[in-house]
Amino acid sequence: MTRPILPCLLSLLLALPFVRAAERKPNIIVVFCDDLGYADIGPFGSKTHATPVLDQMANEGIRLTDFYSTCPVCTPSRSSLMTGCYPRRVNMHVDEKNLCVLFPAARKGLNPEEITIAEVLKEQDYATMCIGKWHLGDHPDFMPTNHGFDHYFGIPYSNDMNRKQVPLPLVRDLTVIEDSVQKNTTITAQYTTEAVKFIKANSKNPFFLYLPHTAVHLPLVPGKKFKGASKDGAYGDWVQEIDWSMGELFKAIKAEGIDEDTLVLFTSDNGSAREKQGSNLPLRGRKGRTDEGGMRVPCVVRWPGKIPAASSSGALTSTMDLLPTLAAISGGKTPADRIIDGKNIWPILNGKSKSHPRDAFFYYQMDQLQAVRSGDWKLFVAMDQKKRNWGKPEGKKTLTLFNLAKDIHEDRNVAAENPEIVKRLLAHAESAREDLGDVNRPGKGQRKAGWVEKASPRLIKK
């Protein structure tokens, strides 16, 4: 018996919104803290910082316990997140004076020819905004608005880079709206307000919000209402303000009815720099070093209905993996005309894979390859102590092998008992040197950084 045409058409029309909803591209929010240690938040063991929002986020999502930044300092780690590549691949491992990070009025920056996450998502009709610390160059060619972001609001570099020639500026797009904001205790609140505005303005269409916080980089400037709120001084107060900020983001996406359409990722650019405040435990070391505490960072990812709640993974993952992963879930493509070091880790996030997505991970300190990890094994291969004292791993010598599954604090050298493991990891290290380079050795797979003959820092117009 043939069904009446009108009821069939009505049923089809009623079903269309649900089809569209099911096919909606996910909103993406990436929160990138500055100098936040491995154990500075509740989901990774903090006992001194109250982080109820992040605790709940972990309960509703996944913890990546072996998630790495690609360098233990600011600029290189940010270049990796944006491009999906090791810093040496894109020549952002040192500045023009062979220092470890970019400074105001730099002639060097992220090459406009590189393809960023924002540009990949723009191809998929995403609205894009960067709010916070950029630190990939302050010339207009290197700023976020020339790297796929529709808008930018924030401080272009670290919170301690206040100079007579270039006072620490607060910038909207390319225009300085306030200078000398180094001691501004409202900066996290301002970032949060801008983020909520962006979410509300773009809730009907897919958006990408990149929120690299100024917190908790020195000098410490938590908001006044958070002063004295923690058990860990101004450092802990600022960590708890970050948690408050995360709460405001979640309130916004829930109020807009897009909670189930939004992936939120929270992590840090490197380990804590502090000796008495902040914690990288149970990891050894701190910011600036290639011990685990310098480069293994907390990471929590949440997407209701897509990422299993209260899950965790010890797969060897990295900030480099964001570009190919976010390309995959948005319907975009990872650039095929160049080497991308990151891997699509969506099968790990959705619980369908427990395998390591890479055979080896390389620990660079500026231009020097210092260690390599493969599976549970980590081998320190070199340290130029004359040039790299600041980045010298604590108590390590060359060819020092650790089983991180059994010795997370890197205390017991087991190289002598495992010669075949040492040989295998040395082969990985030589492969990295050939491709990415090492001290005084260019890599065949390196690409050029951006460069301008005349610096053009962000200065307030008078």
Instruction: Tell me the CATH number at 375.
Output: 3.30.1120.10
Same domain, 63 and 204: yes
Same domain, 344 and 366: no
Q: Which residues pair with 296 in a beta bridge?
A: 68
Is 139 among the catalytic positions? no
Asked whether residue 183 is domain-assigned, the answer is yes
Same domain, 338 and 369: no
Contacting residues for 130 by C-beta, under 8 A, at least 6 apart: 118, 144, 149, 151, 152, 153, 154, 210, 211, 212
Asked whether residue 13 is domain-assigned, the answer is no
Q: How far apart are CA 267 and CA 37, in angstroms?
A: 10
Asked whether residue 9 is domain-assigned, the answer is no
The one catalytic residue among 49, 93, 135, 217: 135
Q: How far apart are CA 347 and CA 264, in angstroms?
A: 16
Same domain, 430 and 382: yes
Same domain, 132 and 248: yes
Q: What is the pTM of this model?
A: 0.92
Same domain, 217 and 151: yes
Is 74 among the catalytic positions? yes
Same domain, 343 and 366: no
Same domain, 388 and 442: yes
The number of angstroms, rounded, from the C-alpha of 262 to the middle of its chain's C-alpha atoms is: 18
Same domain, 158 and 54: yes
Asked whether residue 2 is domain-assigned, the answer is no
Is the CA virtual torsion 335, 304, 243, 311 positive or negative? negative
Write phi, then psi, for 16 (nearest 5 degrees): -55, -45
Same domain, 304 and 387: no
The one catalytic residue among 71, 74, 85, 299: 74
Q: Which of 315, 349, 383 finishes a domain?
A: 349
Asked whether residue 460 is domain-assigned, the answer is no
Encode the chain (462 residues) as per-residue pLDDT tens digits: 444 544 444 444 443 333 334 478 999 999 999 999 999 999 999 989 999 999 999 999 999 999 999 999 999 999 999 999 999 999 999 888 878 899 999 999 999 999 999 999 999 999 999 999 999 999 999 999 999 999 999 999 999 999 888 999 999 999 999 999 989 999 999 999 999 999 999 999 999 999 999 999 999 999 999 999 998 999 999 999 999 999 999 999 999 999 999 999 999 999 998 656 689 999 999 999 999 999 999 999 999 999 999 999 999 999 999 999 999 999 999 999 999 999 999 999 999 999 999 999 999 998 999 999 999 999 999 775 444 444 556 666 678 999 999 999 999 999 999 999 999 999 999 999 999 999 989 999 999 999 999 999 998 876
Task: Residue 79: give the domain boundaries.
Answer: 24-349
In 3D, which of 360, 384, 379 has the Cα closest to residue 438?
A: 384
Instruction: Tell me the CATH number at 134.
Output: 3.40.720.10
In 3D, which of 50, 46, 60 has the Cα closest to residue 262?
A: 60
Same domain, 218 and 337: yes
- The tally of domains found in the chain comes to 2
Write phi, then psi, for 433 (nearest 5 degrees): -60, -40
Q: Which of 349, 381, 403 finishes a domain?
A: 349
